Structure formats: structure tokens, C-alpha cells
Structure 1
Amino acid sequence: MKRGVEATEAKTRQQLAKEFVDTWTQPDKGKEDADRQTFWNDLLHRVYGIVNYYDYVTYEKDVRVKDSMGKITTKRIDGYIPSTRTMIEQKGRGRALDKPEPQSDGVMLTPYEQAKRYANFLPNSEQPRWIIVSNFDQIDIHDMDHPLDEPKTIMLTELPKHFKDLEFMVDIHKQQIINEEQVSFKAGELVAKIYNELAKAYAEHADLSDTHIQRSLNVLIVRLVFLLYVDDTQLFGNEDMFQAFLERREPRDIRRDLISLFEVLNTPLNERDPFMDEEFAAFPYVNGGMFANEDIVVPQFTQELRDLILDDASRGFNWSGISPTIFGAVFESTLNPETRRSGGMHYTSVENAHVR
């Protein structure tokens, strides 16, 4: 059965994160005892799609702790996610996360140090990989594989831009973040929006009925979406390389630098200019013809096009949830069939694009 756009209005993760922020920045929110469980349940359910959050996270988890006086007492961990070994220490709004506070044995500990003390007395099988400390307005993420590093800090108001930084809480093998059908539909919707915005950019100075322009549009959108996919799957080794590339540029610079980037991606490392700018040199060689020089036309980017790609398609959507098979089908089902026939749809599957 053919599905119309009106059948599903899938919200992006960024939109859901914005709604979550709107709820939890209200002045009546942020009470340590009354709101902490609701806060994390809402975050896991609304933003990360955990349906059975009541089974997914354990609150008030008992842990027997020996204090500095040698006394053994039972403490309670605010939150613990067994499947990803994530510990949560939640403080009330206004509590400083870097300020030591007196414990029952008189020792002064910061909220992180308090959580670390609890963690030290858990069985080896439950030792946390991640410790999250929050006061509702700020979320500090401590990676216990790097215990001496400074925590990664996310301000609540910035969550829509950084929701990916908390995805480690979700066990992707046991919990599907977003239904695959919904993800693929949203991907197709985004491809269509980018396609239409690119068509407007081409139409400013070119005839859209021209075969070469049609082919250029098709090739360009495949390359752009491939780079968005690579960002989220870290196929290039670093996270969000293409996003950062776009963020550093004004719309008037993107056309020129995209042409240069495509050339770099199509050039083996041993054939590159040794004096190439470090930003470009950081990108690997992609075999398989994805970026082969086909003399395509790249239009001038507008602010609207830049914002669409950055805000909606990069920061606001996780392409890693799309399998290579669906990835190809998205293009086949989204792009105009007449345009594909006349312009020559160019699609290299993810399996055939080899990064070196």
C-alpha cells in the first residue's frame, strides 16, 4: 500500500529534544526528590524511544558502602541502567556539580565523587562504564574508560544539538531507538526536502530540464546524504566530520569547498598534495566511484539550504539507524522517477564505497 506523507508525521530527535527542554526548563521543575525519576523516564522515553523505561532503568538501587570510619551502611543509587552500565547521580536544580558537600561520615565529596564511591562497592559485573551527574540544568558525562579526563558537559538548553552524546545509555541490541519504518520514512522525507531546496538553488542560474543539471542534482544529493550517514556511523573514524566542515563555513563558501572536498575524497592518500590544508587532509580516500570526477555542477548554497542540512538532516537526525538496503531504497522511492530516468540516478551502495 502506498503511504502518503500525511500518514506519518515522524518528528526528528532534535524536535523531540526541544520539546523535552521546553518541559524541563519550566520554573516548577527541578526538585531533586520529586522530579528526578520523571526527568529521566521522560528523557529515555521521549527522546530515545525507550518504551519500557520502567523496566529499563532501576531507581534507588541498594549498595552497601564502607565509609571513612569503617562503618558499613546501605546507600541508594539514584538511577542505574543495567544493560549499558550507566549510573545516574541526580541533584536538585541550583546545586553546584563541582562543589563538595558533607556526607554522613563527614567526608566532603562532589556529586561525582559520591557516585564514584558508590560505584566502587558494586560487584565487578555492575561496575559502571558511564557515570552521569546532573542538576537538571547541566548534565556531566564521565566515561570510566577514561577516569582522569574531564567530563563532557551538556547544558539542558543545548540538548537538541547534543542528544547524540547520550545515546550510550541505550542498548541498541535490546532496544530499538526508533521504529525502522519510521526512521526510513523520515529519511525519505529529509531527502525530498534537500532535493527540493537544491532544485531551487540550481534553478537560479540553470535550466532544470537540462540532462546535465538533472544528473548533477542526483549525484550531489547522494554524496551529501552519504556524508551525513558517514558522520553518524563514524565510517571516517571521527564523529561529525562533515557536520563540522559545514559549520565552519558561510553559505557563500560551501559551493567552492564542497567541490574541493569531493576531489579530496576521490584522491588516494599517496597521490594528494602534501601541502593540502589539514582540514581537507583529515578526510580519507573513498573508493568505489562515489566521488569520481563526473564534471557535475554544484550550485551556490543558500542560508536555507545550509540550515536544512545542518539543523534537520545532520544535528536533528541519526542516519546510522538506516541499513544499507534501506539507504538505497530511500533514494529510489524519494527522487522523482522522471528525473531519475532522464538524469541518470547515480547510487553507490555503502557496501561498495570503501574508505581507506
Structure 2
Amino acid sequence: MGEVFLPAAWADREPGPKHWTAGARSDDPAAREVHPPTAAGIGDGKAFLFLFGYRTAGTQDPGMLAAELAEIDDDVAVLRGAGYTVVVDRQATREDLLDAVTGRGLDGLVPAGVYWSSHGGTDGSLEACDGVRISPSDVDTAAVPAGLRLVIFGACYVGAYAPAWRAALGGHPLVAGWGRPVTLQRAVDFLEEGRESDIGLDDLIKAWLLTDSALPAPPADAGGLPPAAVLGGRIGRLRQRFPAVAERLGAGWAEHGNHLDVTVPLPGGRSHVVQVFLVDSTDPFSEGVTLCGMEADVGPVSPLVTPETLLGTAGGPGYGRVALVAGRTGVPQVVTQSFTPLIGTSGQQLAARCYQVARHADALEYTIFGIDGE
């Protein structure tokens, strides 16, 4: 087979969608609507932007866009009644977001808030309507005005990178979003007026755009939190002890590095993975005691997760607990845990602890994200 020659110009090709002519748009300008304020108020001279980056060529994306658009009319009305100019763009591009957070193209209005909804990447990037990705490094930090108070990313995974986005936005706005995948229904619930979820878009607007209250400081570095307990674990005698425990639970298990991954079946056909390991206690009166540790991941914490959600069921009697540990992206991670001495604890008690850790994690995960696992 002969050598394949590529045109030299292909080496200079820019990423993103292909256009037949230079400077062509990848969105429809008619999909952008500007709604003037209906009354004077705290939003005078300011703008709030609803930007939807769902793929124009996606098969399911038009339905997702329609479902969200149907729930924002009340928010648009509230903002306009408080003096804000409201922009709704149904085909938002990379440039639309970068312009929104810097105020370009707003005729002198200060961008006070942005709601961006689209698909998100596991690296914290956002996908625009033409498939182009947007990352925190794309933002011109020096150009972001101090008046930007609230940025909400309705995109899977991106909430776990809120510290990076807030830093890219000059440290000015409160950044909120989903730290992992959520169902469409959970995303719509967030926008719905009178919804049953703990914190919704209307709550964030009321708290930070209808008042001039000081914004929360950026959270302390998650490095101040303890690491996940499993990182210091080992398998040891669990190889001989735990198969019988897993059998009691009807659970599958496998060795994974320094721990066992135990897939615990739950009611309704659900399941949750619990990491089981051995660790030595350093607490007073139990120094050196070998503990059987169990830890199950829930997801990143964010402004959308209230203390009531995390701790509402923690006061009842039981074996498990809810904890925050350091996350790899700088956002604290919610986990459920249990620790007990390996010696003297029966197989039945180990099974009960493993089940409760799995059940509490699964219930929290479903309450917060509306979805079972990733």
C-alpha cells in the first residue's frame, strides 16, 4: 500500500465544527431572545443569561431542551420584575458563554448571573450546541467583572470542578452545578417552581440576585479534609473472612488493589458498591486495633446539597455514618462509612454493616442526583 499524502493546510486546521466559508456561524442567531425588564429594582443595569448548549444535531437533545425551557418562564418573570434584562439563547456556543461571563455584547449591562445547560465532560468541560468543548482555561479571567454573582452549570460532572471554574471566573461568582450524572427529571426538578428538591434555581436567584448579601467565600481547600479511608487500607485476612459475608448478602465481590469491591443488591433491583478493607485504629483506647472499614461513594458536595439532605437520616440508630473526604478535583466528596474491630465481630454483623453503608449511600445518591450509579 502506497504512502498517503495529506494536504499541508490540514495541519493548520482549527478544532470544532467545519464551515464552508470562513467566519460562518454554527448557531442560529434567531434562537437568541432578549427580554427587557418589566420594573425597576436591584437588577437595574444588569443581565441574567439562560444559555442552552444542547447539540442541535442530537437525537435526544431537542426534547431535553424543550423540557427545561418549559420550566424557566417563572424565573424569567421574577428576574425581569426585579430590573434584570434576561437573555435566553437556545443554541449557545463557546463564544456565547465566554462573552456572557465577561459582558461582551450586552450593551453595557453587567452580567450578574448565568445559567448554562448542556452535556458535561468528566474533565469538567462543557459542550456547546455545535459540539465544541469549553474549559475553565478558555475564560479570560481578567475580563470577568466583579458584578458576576451567580453561575450555574446544569451539566453532568461539571459541579465537581466548581473550584476551577470559580478561579477562572476571577473568584467572583458562586458556582453551582451537578458533580456527576443526573437524570433529565432531576435537572427539570431543579428548574421547576415549587419543586420537591432541596435547592432549586429559584432559591439561588432569591438568595443571591434579589439581595446584595455577601457571597460565600470559596470553600477551603479539600486538602484540609481527611482522604478517603480506603486509600490507607489493605485486604489481609478479608480474603478468607469476607466471601462468607458476601454470600449472606447475595453480593458479588472482587479484589481491587488494596480493597474488596462488594456489589450489594438492594430493593427495587438497585445495587451499590461498597469498598471493604482493613485499617489500624489510632483513636484513644483502640490504638493498633485492626478495623474492618467499609466506604461507599455518594458524589461531590455542592451548594445544591443541603445539610438536611446529608444528615436528615443520620440521627437514627444504625451502624453507618455520613462523612466528607477530600475529592480529587478539590471538591469535598460525600461518602458513607462504617468501622468495626475485625476480631470479635460476627459475619452477620459485618453483613449488616456492609448493607447499611450501601443502603445509605444509595438513598443519598438517588435523593441528590436521581440516578443509580454512573
- TM-score, normalised to structure 2, is 0.27
- The structure, 1 or 2, with the larger RCO (C-alpha pairs under 8 Å, 6+ apart) is 1
Bigger strand fraction? 2
- TM-score, normalised to structure 1, is 0.28
